[in-house]
């Protein structure tokens, strides 16, 4: 049975936290590593989507992957005191 993972999406990249390698944001499973050095992925099944190191608004994440629940919260910088 494959591992499950939350796909992490930033402004310009996305990665699998199970193995740390890049992946395509549309991938259902991490079957291939994307980027400069493509190769086989770890096979993790993506079960949620979340912001990576840079905040991505939940509405953007939901639009990018409507099939997955959004797993984190985004704090609007304008709302911070």
Residue 71: both structure tokens together: 């797993």
pLDDT in tens, 30-47: 999 988 778 899 999 999
Residues of the chain with pLDDT under 50: 1, 80-81
* pLDDT value, residue 73: 59
Q: Using DSSP bridges, classify how beta strands 4-9 and 14-15 pair: parallel, antiparallel or unpaired.
A: antiparallel
Residue 30: both structure tokens together: 């991490």
Residue 62: both structure tokens together: 């939901």
Q: What residue spans define the domains of the chain?
A: 4-72
* pLDDT value, residue 16: 92
State phi, psi for 4 to the nearest 5 degrees.
-110, 155
């Amino acid at each position: 049975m494959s591992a499950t993972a939350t796909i992490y999406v930033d402004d310009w990249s996305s990665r699998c936290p199970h193995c740390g390698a890049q992946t395509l944001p549309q991938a259902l499973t991490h079957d291939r590593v994307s980027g400069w050095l493509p190769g086989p992925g770890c096979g993790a099944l993506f079960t949620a989507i979340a912001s990576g190191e840079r905040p991505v608004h939940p509405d953007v994440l939901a639009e990018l992957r409507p099939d997955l629940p959004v797993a984190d919260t985004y704090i609007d910088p304008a709302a911070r005191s």
